[in-house]
């Protein structure tokens, strides 16, 4: 215990109080500079990573646009096939025996009224005509 106090006293006497103040100031400045350097390095790392991610996302978006193009091409082909099947089915239905058989107007009228209640068909000209108030 006495040895430790002696050592502390010897160290204290190495410099004058002003000298110790200068040492303390220098230590503080070094610590401040080290902190600034660490922050700058961290900011640089973040900026570098953000730039890398941006570049990666740009490349990913280019590839995704290519994927989307292929899917759109497939959708166009499917739409064309649906149009083609529509035509063939309509021909087959209209040329089948009984296709020209007239339905009871009450049924077709009820059918039109029912269809016109649907959102998808509400705007059909036949629906607008159907629900138009008749002049007296």
Partner 1 sequence: MAILPAANCSSLVPDSWRVGVPAPALPAGDTAGDWIAYADQAVGQLDRANGRTSDALAIVTACEARDAAAVREVQRPWWRPW
Which of 38, 90, 110, 117 forms a contact with partner 1 (CB under 8 A)? 90
The rounded distance, in Å, linking the Cα atoms of 61 and 69 is 12
Judged by CB under 8 A, the residue of 4, 5, 14, 93 near partner 1 is: 93
The structure tokens listed for 70 are 């292929």
- Phi, then psi, of 63 in degrees rounded to 5: -65, -40
Q: Are 122 and 104 in contact (CB under 8 A)?
A: no
Question: Which has the closest alpha carbon to 69: 79, 61, 80?
Answer: 61
Shortest reach from residue 41's CB to partner 1, in Å: 15
Q: Which of residues 2-41 bind partner 1 (CB under 8 A)?
A: none
> Which residue's structure tokens are 């600034």?
36
Q: Which two tokens stand for residue 10?
A: 């010897």
Binding mask 60-89 for partner 1 (x = CB under 8 A): xx-xxx-xx--xx-xx--xx--x--xx--x
Instruction: List contacts with partner 1 (CB under 8 A).
Output: 46, 49-50, 52-54, 56-57, 59-61, 63-65, 67-68, 71-72, 74-75, 78-79, 82, 85-86, 89-90, 93-94, 96, 98-103, 105, 108, 111-112, 115-116, 118, 120-121, 124, 126-127
């Amino acid at each position: 215990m006495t040895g430790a106090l002696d050592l502390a006293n010897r160290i204290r006497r190495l410099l004058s109080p002003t000298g110790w103040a200068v040492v303390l100031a220098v230590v503080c400045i070094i610590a401040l500079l080290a902190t600034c350097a660490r922050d700058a390095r961290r900011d640089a790392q973040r900026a570098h990573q953000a730039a890398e991610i941006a570049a990666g996302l740009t490349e990913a978006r280019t590839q995704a646009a290519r994927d989307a193009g292929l899917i759109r091409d497939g959708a166009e082909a499917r739409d064309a096939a649906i149009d083609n099947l529509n035509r063939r089915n309509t021909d087959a239905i209209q040329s089948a025996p009984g296709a020209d058989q007239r339905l009871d107007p009450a049924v077709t009228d009820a059918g039109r009224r029912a269809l016109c209640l649907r959102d998808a068909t509400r705007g059909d000209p036949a629906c607008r005509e159907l629900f138009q108030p008749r002049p007296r």
